[in-house]
């Protein structure tokens, strides 16, 4: 079995985790980013249910992505936008979205890894 240090993160891993944000219509996403809304809290029950279906390797990958610097995540989102043209990725890659992303990822950490926030 791989150790946590041996598990590497790909751009696809980042996109899988950010997928929840890209499902939102662009206009709505733009509004919640501008208002810096905590959207993770709204989906807490679904996130906890989803967590129950993840194996330890997937949890390690999620944790590594959550620990990345937001500007690094945004660079991956920017590259993905250039490849796909998906408007939600452009919104999230904008530097003005940094606070929105960091706040929501922080909330996601609290839900997925509660023992670290006691």
Residues ≥6 apart with Cβ < 8 Å to 93? 74, 75, 77, 78, 81
pTM for this predicted structure = 0.84
Asked if residue 86 belongs to a domain, the reply is yes
Asked if residue 95 belongs to a domain, the reply is yes
List the chain pLDDT tens, one digit each, 118 residues.
Answer: 566 677 888 888 888 877 877 888 999 999 999 999 998 888 899 999 999 999 999 999 999 999 999 999 999 999 999 999 999 999 999 999 999 999 999 999 999 998 876 5
The crossing angle, in degrees rounded to 10, of helices 70-84 and 11-22 is 80
Asked if residue 117 belongs to a domain, the reply is no
Asked if residue 118 belongs to a domain, the reply is no
Q: What is the pLDDT of residue 94?
A: 98
Q: How many domains does the chain have?
A: 1
Asked if residue 75 belongs to a domain, the reply is yes
Asked if residue 16 belongs to a domain, the reply is yes
Nearest to 94 by CA among 40, 11, 41, 29: 29
């Amino acid at each position: 079995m791989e150790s946590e240090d041996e598990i590497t993160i790909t751009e696809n891993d980042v996109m899988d985790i950010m997928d929840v944000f890209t499902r939102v219509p662009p206009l709505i996403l733009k509004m919640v980013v501008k208002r810096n809304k905590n959207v993770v809290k709204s989906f807490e029950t679904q996130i906890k249910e989803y967590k129950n279906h993840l194996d330890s390797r997937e949890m390690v990958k999620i944790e590594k992505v959550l620990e990345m610097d937001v500007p690094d995540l945004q660079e991956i989102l920017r590259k993905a936008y250039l490849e796909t043209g998906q408007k939600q990725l452009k919104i999230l890659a904008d530097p003005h979205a940094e606070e929105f992303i960091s706040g929501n990822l922080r909330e996601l950490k609290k839900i997925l890894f509660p023992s670290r926030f006691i």
